[in-house]
């Protein structure tokens, strides 16, 4: 799957607090044992699309809900995507969000892009 989040990321929020949710208890159990969560795929990108999940989560620091919808409102894991993502969603995010311009000197999309818009070149995502 496209860059499943590590258990430590989930455990960071779900380690504390009271809940009777069996699904949250599962996350805690995996976190306490230092094991990775055996995720089940609910979203499949077309084979010609490349999506670097890690870059969006760690570099852009997007919250899961930005793309996946209001997961925090569910009492169990979704069995289907909570929202449909389109190419327009990706382009809109790259063009209009505050994160659309890199504030630091980082290598993204194969180019040093400090202060420049993130790439929306077709070949960035389409293989």
| 60 dihedral zone (left: phi>0; alpha: psi -120 to 50; beta) | alpha
- Length of the chain in terms of residues written: 127
pLDDT tens, 20-49? 778 788 888 888 898 988 887 767 778 888
- What pTM was computed for the model? 0.55
Percent of the chain predicted with pLDDT > 70 = 76
Per-residue pLDDT tens over the stretch 90-104: 888 877 765 545 555
Domain boundaries in the chain? 1-39, 46-125
Greater confidence (65 vs 20) lies with 65
Residue 11 tokens, joined: 């455990």
Residue 123 clears pLDDT 50, i.e. is over it: yes
For 15-113, where are the alpha helices, taking DSSP H only? Answer: 22-33, 53-54, 64-68, 87-96
């Amino acid at each position: 799957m496209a860059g499943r989040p590590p258990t430590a990321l989930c455990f960071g929020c779900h380690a504390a607090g009271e809940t009777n949710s069996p699904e949250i208890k599962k996350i805690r159990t995996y976190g306490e044992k230092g094991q990775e969560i055996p995720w089940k795929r609910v979203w499949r990108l077309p084979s010609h699309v490349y999506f670097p999940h890690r870059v969006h989560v760690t570099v852009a620091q997007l919250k899961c809900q930005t793309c996946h919808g209001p997961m925090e409102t569910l009492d169990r894991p979704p069995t289907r995507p909570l929202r449909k993502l389109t190419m327009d969603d990706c382009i809109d995010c790259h063009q209009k969000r505050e994160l659309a311009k890199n504030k630091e000197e980082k290598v993204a999309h194969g180019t040093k892009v400090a202060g420049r818009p993130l790439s929306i070149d077709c070949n960035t995502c389409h293989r």
